Amino acid sequence: MKKYSLAVDIGASSGRLILGSLDQQQLKLEEIHRFENKIVQKDQHYCWEVDKLFDEIKTGIKKCQEKGIKPESIGIDTWAVDFVLLDENDKSITEAVAYRDPRTDGVMDEVFKQVSKEKIYQETGIQFQKFNTIYQLFSLKMKQPEILNKARTFLMIPDYFNFLLTGKKANEYTNATSTQLVNASTKDWDDQLLDQLEIPKKMFQEIKPPKTILGNLSDELVAEFGFGMKVVLPATHDTGSAVISVPELDETIYLSSGTWSLIGIENSLPICGPKALQYNFTNEGGIDYRYRFLKNIMGLWMIQEVKRNYQDQYSFAELVELARQADGFASVVNVDDERFLKPENMVMAIQGYCQEMNMPVPKTAGEVAKCVFDSLVNSYQQAINQIEEISEKSFTKVNVIGGGCQNEYLNQLIANKTNKDVYAGPIEATAIGNMVAQLMAIGEISGIDEARTIIMNSFEIKKYTTNCEGKETKCQ
């Protein structure tokens, strides 16, 4: 009898539940439920609607029931850094405030008055971004210390959903590392750092790695769904799951392309030296305690916002075509400038940057789109140069995974700019990585190498080379 697992993959704009099964060493996927996710304003903060999201998870599970399918396991991944706090009665005492909320403005400098930037990086190896959990928690300490005093449980977003499913509390490793509060060497909460920042240690849970079977569905949910499942910890940080699905057994540069762009390599040890700090690279946790040495770059969020600013007048495909037609426009922006994190109007933010830098200002939708794509590729090239410098290795290819790998124009720009072969796919990288972690946990796949071989044999991978002379089609 065919065994199924259920991957819950929730990103910044949407979520979905995907059924997966192995059929003659090929992974078969079927999306059974998709839903919207968005940031809403609550009490002057930008927040996630986590209770609605959990209701959507339950709706998806019930659709399995309607199809007559009873999955063996379920695993949840989401974005990183955000969290909820529970009191002594396991009731939420915070909204799930979103990382784009301005509550962390200026907080990094306040943290550095307590602990030096160099010390934090040496201990945690995590990239400095103003929205990291460490700064969100320190913001609470500064402005609402009574909340931290009441907190008894710290759960990141997928941890919270797992608690609602099972009643069991744990902090999953890959997502926990994104807090900038986990020691890169011990792989546990950095007690000294927490003490120095006066953040209460008692609210943090035991850190458990991907492939852990957390437990079974609660009796209440078994009665509601009509069946039980094992709740497995995948890499609950969505990029951690995505990197599992890189279809390559040899060393390669990967680019997880979506709302954010995550570009890096996989390592057995963290790199926490001065040069990595200078270039602001991160050492996030990965499967089997591998390290994802990568840079977090503003991604396709920019073109998503451009599309919205033009009142969805153009589809993404049309924006790509308009960008191709604006071939002569050459201005680029620094995509990691904070003004692009959550501007009132992305188009105006891009135009304002160009004007300030005395560059030609994009006027048409095509010129704006061309500026975004060229700017992203420029940032990718810079990151690749830095990776090769720090690692003292040269790489011949880039594996682009995730939804952004469908943008053939962008893939070709990457190949042309980097002079490296670009392999695009799989598209559903995060859900696939989530799925294979579950299959490893329940004994259907032996390990990461077998998982990646299965992925290579299951999904189309497109290749782009510089020999294509800038054309928008794949080479082979």
**Alpha-carbon distances, residue 169 vs 31, 124, 401 (angstroms):** 28, 23, 31
Q: How distant is the alpha carbon of residue 114 from its chain centre?
A: 29
Tallying the residues shown for the chain, one arrives at 476
Report the number of secondary-structure helices (H) and strands (E) in the chain: 18, 20
Residue 18 half-sphere exposure toward CB, CA atoms < 13 A: 23
Residues whose CB is less than 8 angstroms from the CB of residue 215 and which lie 6 or more positions away in sequence, other chains included: 166, 167, 168, 230, 231
- Give yes or no for a contact between 192 and 121, defined as CB atoms under 8 angstroms apart: no
φ and ψ of 50, to 5 deg = -65, -35
Which residue in the block uniquely carries the two structure tokens 């990691």?
Answer: 336
Tokens representing residue 440 in the block: 């490893």
Among residues 9, 159, 238, 374, the one annotated as catalytic is 238
Residues whose CB is less than 8 angstroms from the CB of residue 55 and which lie 6 or more positions away in sequence, other chains included: none
- Give yes or no for a contact between 235 and 287, defined as CB atoms under 8 angstroms apart: yes
Please tell me whether residue 236 adopts helix, strand or coil conformation: coil
φ and ψ of 231, to 5 deg = -100, 115
- Active-site residue, 9 included: no
Partnered with residue 397 across adjacent β-strands are 421
Q: How distant is the alpha carbon of residue 193 from its chain centre?
A: 25
Nearest residue to 162 via CA among 54, 55, 79, 268 = 54
Q: Is 355 exposed, middle or buried (0-12, 13-18, 19+ CB in 10 A)?
A: exposed
Which residue in the block uniquely carries the two structure tokens 């030296």?
Answer: 273
- Catalytic residue numbers read 238
